[in-house]
Each structure stands twice: as structure tokens, then as C-alpha cells.
A and B are shown apart, each in its own frame.
Chain A
């Protein structure tokens, strides 16, 4: 019983991180119609920036804010410098570019930050909470993770559905030509989309790093799982991304605990295939009618 509970709680926190990452993918997809594979190393770079700041003796929260801010800037710079030149061409070009960026950032991080495991601090302690004499696998930092991701999802929903700027972002992504004719500054919207997505990605990076070990490849599995989570929920829906992340986190945690850890990656891919075959639009997608 305790194992069931702890495995579920472990899956819940992990699922929230996948969800955060899936949110970043959804954000880029919604605002630019590109899937950004470089999301993971971008988040890794900003996490290392935070680590450098913590190492210099500053507080965790300063590092946290700096990482999010550098995520915002990094996203905007990547869009302007790397992605902009191929915009308007086939979307596959941009996707391939993000794959290239993946490798470049990895190599750079290894050179700049070193290629070894390092520990990353957590602001709330890494001991499980005690409930009635038994410890459950939920740490203060785990609760923070869950709240942070839920809040991010709420903000994104508000942004896309209740604000003018969200509408303009969706319009630029959906049909840049028409949007431009209607007076939307498409270029700016695209940059903003990338910047916000990168910020959310940085958050995911910080959440998965907290109280654990980091190295330049530590986000790599998350990019795969985050992608599966995003597809599971439908690439278009922030709510779907969170539900997808949770489902995936729980499923993988149970596979790891009750079947075998060597089957985790396989299980994720089986889930991906099932979703693509049975519900190609994802569990919560509403785009089927819009796509032509």
C-alpha cells in the first residue's frame, strides 16, 4: 500500500515536470506551428546559469529568477537569429534546425559548464513529508513543483483565451498572411511565443533539477517524455498537456516500479504509438476541423 502510494506520488511529481515541458512545446506549437526539439538543452543551459549563480553564493530565488529571465531572452534570441531566416519556408526546416541547435547547445554546455554530474539545490528540503508516522514520497519541493505547473497552466489558458495578445499570437501562428493583413505584427508575436515557451521550458528544467543531480544531458529523456505528454494531450491544448504529463508520469512510474525500469522508455513509446493510432489529435485536441 505504501509502495503504491509512493510510486503514485513519485509519478505525480515527475508527471508535473513532464507537463511543464509539454506546456512549453504546446506554447511554441500554438504560437509558431513548430515543434522545438532544442527545448531541452535550452532549459539545461538556463539551469546551469542558475547553478553558477547559486555557486557564487547568491540565494536560490535570485538564481531561479535569473534562469527564467535568461530563458525568456534565450528563446527570443534563438527565434530571431536561428529560426527567423527559415520562417516562411517548409516547417520541417525549422524543426531540423532545432535538432541541430540541440547538438550545438549540448556541446557548448559541456565545454562551458563541464560534463560531470553536479548537485542542484532545492529551496524546500528533500525529505519526504511525515503523515501519521509514515513518510510519504512528497517533498516540499514536490508540492512546489505541482503548484508551479498548475499556476503556469492557468496563466497560459488565460493568455490564449482571455487576452488580446494571446489571440494575436494564435492568429499569427495559424495564418501569418491573413494576420498580417489584419494588422498583427506577426514577427513580434513569433518572437514572443518563443520567448514565453523558453521561459516555461526553463521552469521545467529548474523543477526537475531541484534536489537532484544535473549534467548537460539531464533533460534529454524529458524532451522525449515531454513530447509524448504533449501529443497525448493534443499539441494544441495547455490543459491537455498537463493531463498528458500527469498520465504519462504515473504510467511510467508504475511501469518502473511494478514491471521493470528497463521498460520505461519502451512504455513511453508504446503510449505514443497508441495515441497516434487511436486518437491522432490527442485526448483533448479540438484542431481536427481546423486543419486542412
Chain B
């Protein structure tokens, strides 16, 4: 009985302290004073922001662990977790262990709102890291910024995470955005296949719209048809038939992996054989191959070779490059801290953005605050070296992530380089060859980024 009383007293004390801390942050605004002085109650002391104690940092993320978007995407947090565990095993960041809380939103924006509320208000996470999806994350980006929660490395290439930092000062993109992917693909096709009749196969949302904007900057007069599919409607027959009828002999597809498989199936049915060019998002050869692998009578090549000859892009090294020093690090991390199963490109994606978040924590310094980490990222983000093939674009004016990618052709499930890494920015920015040397770098010996 006494023990129970004691425990509840501690709880009350902790809750009070938490409330005071939150209050201090709210009132203290953007200064660095959040949380000192009044932290005399329950927990460790020395905590400088919600979710941060002397020896731990709690961060959260929302991912589709179930539902139609789960294949592939549900593996991303397992990769990120393996990397955070790896860092923790090496002593953490400034002595703090990273505690990573993942919630399932099933790719449903309503769920995203409720799990984000839980993460921010009940779990009291310090930051959101890698929350996945354009429609899903759109539902919580205002809330996170109103609460002043750092919202790092959204797992989506939509422009809205970074093109206007004054609107969302706490949000940062990470992967190469869809518009510059469209630009780079558009320029490549215009230069190398000037006679191609180009058809566009687009997801009917920001994803397709941003990409189309980029592509049309270079290819407008070559585009003979632009077809949109609605995510969720698996009958894409009419759209592909229309592309076929338009005479397109080159199809640029901006779609998710399931729709890569569906479009390939429909093309077989229609006897339509254009040159396919899939976005990085939709071109995971292993995943698409596993979906296509079992159609009978050898109509479809099984396994990862099913996408042979297809063009796509890449902005981080993947499992098809086992000799890349980054991939070797990821393999080591996965062997030591991963769950069951193989290292996949989705897990590599998770580890890659986890690496960038560890860099951000290092840069923010020992006295970790929410505003501090945002400022640090704006200051040094563009110089960070990591697995990404091209530098980040982070600054006070832009929170957009990786600035470029290269174009590859898939052969036996692996990408074969067709271009060097090309970098650019949104709008009219020119496309140039990257001279940062990031595609040739290697991780530090320890596998944990060093403090800048």
C-alpha cells in the first residue's frame, strides 16, 4: 500500500514537472531557456526539452505498418530502429540513448492525426523523425509546427515539407523531391531520346503533379499523353490503353510499387511494350519482382529480373551495391541489431535517414533543445556528408532534402549508371553535375557520424 502511494506521488510529481516543462517551452518561445530551473521535481534533471533527459532522447514516427501501403514501407522503421540501436550500443549521443517510438497509421490521415497526438502529448517525444506519406503527414504538419515539435526528414518527396520554411519552420524534407526528379528525368529524355513520344502515368495527387511539373519543363512538346490513376483503384487498364493509343513509346511513371506491378501486368495484357521509366519510389526491383513472380506460364519473369531494361533513378546506394561502403555499414548494422529478415532497400532508406538524424543531434550539441536542432540543421545541413549521393539543400530559405540523383538502368535487379549524379533545385534552377564527391564518400570507421 505504501509503495503504491509512493509510486503515485512520484507520478504526480513527474506529471507536474512535465507540465511545467511544457509551459516553460511554450512561454519561452524560441530562446534556449526551455526547462532549466523548474525541473526540480521527478525526473533526472538536466532535461532541456520535452522528451530529453540526461540519458535519453525520445523520438517518434508514424508509418503504415498495416494496410495497402504497408508492403515495403513497413520495413523502413525497422531499418531506422536498427541504426538507432547501433548508435545506442556505441554510447548514444552525448551520453543519451535514443528511444524510438513507432506508431501504425495504416496510411490513413485520420489515424495519423490521432497517433501523432499520442506521440506528442502522451509520449512527449522530442521530435518526429521520418513520418511517412504525403496525405498522411499533411494531416499533422500544422499541429507539429504549432507545437514547435521538430519534424525531421518526412518520408515523402512532396515539395511542401521544405519549399517555404517560414510556413513550416520545424519541418524538413529528406529524399529528393518529386519535382527535381521530374526535371532530371525530363532533361535526360529530352537530350538522349529527342524522338521519343512520351506518355506520363501519374498518381493523381501531389506526387504526380510535382513530377509532371518537373518533366514538362524539358519535355512539354514530346509528351503525347498524361494519364492519372487513383490510388486504391487497381484497374489501370483504361489508363494504359489510352497511353498505348496515344502512340507513346516511352512511359514515365510516377507511382508506388504496387502500381508498377499492376501497370506491367496490364501492359502484358494489352501487348504494349514501351520503354518504361519508373520513379525511384516505384522501382524497387525486389518488391515488384516478388509481386510479379508468380504469374503462370512464364508470362512474367520471376524475381528481381522482372524489371530488366527499365530505367529509374537513385539517390542513396541500395542493396544491389554490396560493395558500397555505406551498404557494408548497413549490412553490419542489420546483422548486429536488425530483426528477422534480409536487409532491403526500404531498411536502407530507414537507416539512411536515421543517420542524418543522428548528425542533426550531434550538430545541435549537448544542450539539446527543439529550436536548437532546427537552427543547427539550417546552419550546417548543406555540408553534411552521408549515404546520400548528393548534398542536402538545408538552409534558412529551404528545408528541402537531397539535391539530386542519378539515372540508372535496371539489369539483373541492380542499377547500372547511365549518368553521373545530377543536382538541381526546384523552379528554374539549372541541372548540373554534382561536384561534392558525396557519391564516392564512405562512412566513418565507427559507423556513427562525428560531431561537427
Contact = CB atoms under 8 A, between A and B. Distances in A.
B271 A264 contact: no
Contacts of B235: 10, 14, 253, 256
A6 B265 CA distance: 14
Interface in A1-39: 2-3, 6-7, 10, 14
Contact residues of A: prevailing secondary structure: mixed
Interface string B217-251: 00000000000111011111111011011000000
A130 B228 CA distance: 27
A162 interface: no
Contact of B292 (A7, A119, A260, A265): A119
Contacts of A98: none
B17 interface: no
A56 to B, nearest CB: 13
Interface string B283-295: 0000000111111
A7 B241 contact: yes
A125 B297 CA distance: 6
A259 B299 CA distance: 31
Contacts of B237: 6-7, 10, 14, 137, 253, 256-257
B260 to A, nearest CB: 11
Interface string A196-237: 000000000000000111010110010000000000000000
Nearest to A115: B66
B268 interface: yes
A117 interface: yes
Interface stretch (B50-58, B67-75, B173-181, B331-339): B67-75
Nearest to A142: B269
A261 interface: yes
Contact of B295 (A122, A134, A254): A122
Contacts of A172: none
Contacts of A212: 234, 262, 265
Contacts of A128: 268-271
Interface in A119-145: 119-128, 130, 134-135, 137, 139
Contacts of A119: 261, 290-295
A162 B262 CA distance: 43
B233 A221 contact: yes
B296 interface: yes
A94 B374 CA distance: 56
Contacts of A110: 66
Interface in B316-338: none
Contact of B269 (A14, A139, A265): A139
B238 A116 contact: no
B45 to A, nearest CB: 44
Given A212-B234, A213-B234, A137 B295 contact: no
B241 A261 contact: no
Interface string B360-371: 000000000000
Contact of A125 (B204, B245, B272, B296): B296
Given A119-B291, A137-B270, A261 B68 contact: no
A126 B233 contact: no
A3 B242 contact: yes
A130 B273 CA distance: 14
A6 B294 contact: no
A163 interface: no
Contacts of B270: 6, 128, 135, 137
Contacts of B310: none
A137 B238 CA distance: 10
Interface string A90-132: 0000000000000000000010000111111111111110100
B300 A126 contact: yes
Given A117-B68, A121-B296, A221-B233, A261 B204 contact: yes
Contacts of B388: none
Nearest to B68: A215
Contacts of A130: 271
A218 B258 CA distance: 13
Given A119-B291, A119-B294, A261-B228, A135 B271 contact: yes
B258 A213 contact: yes
A60 B294 CA distance: 12
A135 B233 CA distance: 24
Nearest to B238: A257
Nearest to B290: A119
B291 A2 contact: no
Contacts of B239: 256-257, 261
B71 A117 contact: yes
B241 A213 contact: no
B265 A253 contact: no
A221 B230 CA distance: 13
B395 to A, nearest CB: 37
B70 A115 contact: yes
Contacts of A261: 204, 228-230, 233, 236, 238-239
A44 B276 CA distance: 32
Interface of A: 2-3, 6-7, 10, 14, 60, 110, 115-128, 130, 134-135, 137, 139, 211-213, 215, 217-218, 221, 253-254, 256-258, 260-262, 264-265
25 contacts: A2-B241, A7-B237, A7-B241, A7-B242, A115-B67, A117-B258, A117-B291, A119-B291, A126-B265, A127-B271, A128-B268, A212-B234, A213-B234, A213-B258, A213-B261, A218-B234, A253-B237, A253-B238, A257-B237, A257-B241, A257-B242, A261-B204, A261-B228, A261-B236, A262-B204
Closest A-B pairs by Cβ, 6 of them: A135-B271, A257-B238, A3-B245, A10-B237, A256-B238, A116-B71
Interface of B: 66-68, 70-71, 204, 228-230, 232-239, 241-242, 244-245, 258, 261-262, 265, 268-272, 290-297, 299-300
Given A137-B241, A137-B270, A264-B230, 13 more contacts: A14-B237, A116-B71, A123-B296, A126-B269, A127-B269, A128-B268, A128-B269, A130-B271, A217-B67, A218-B234, A256-B239, A261-B204, A261-B229
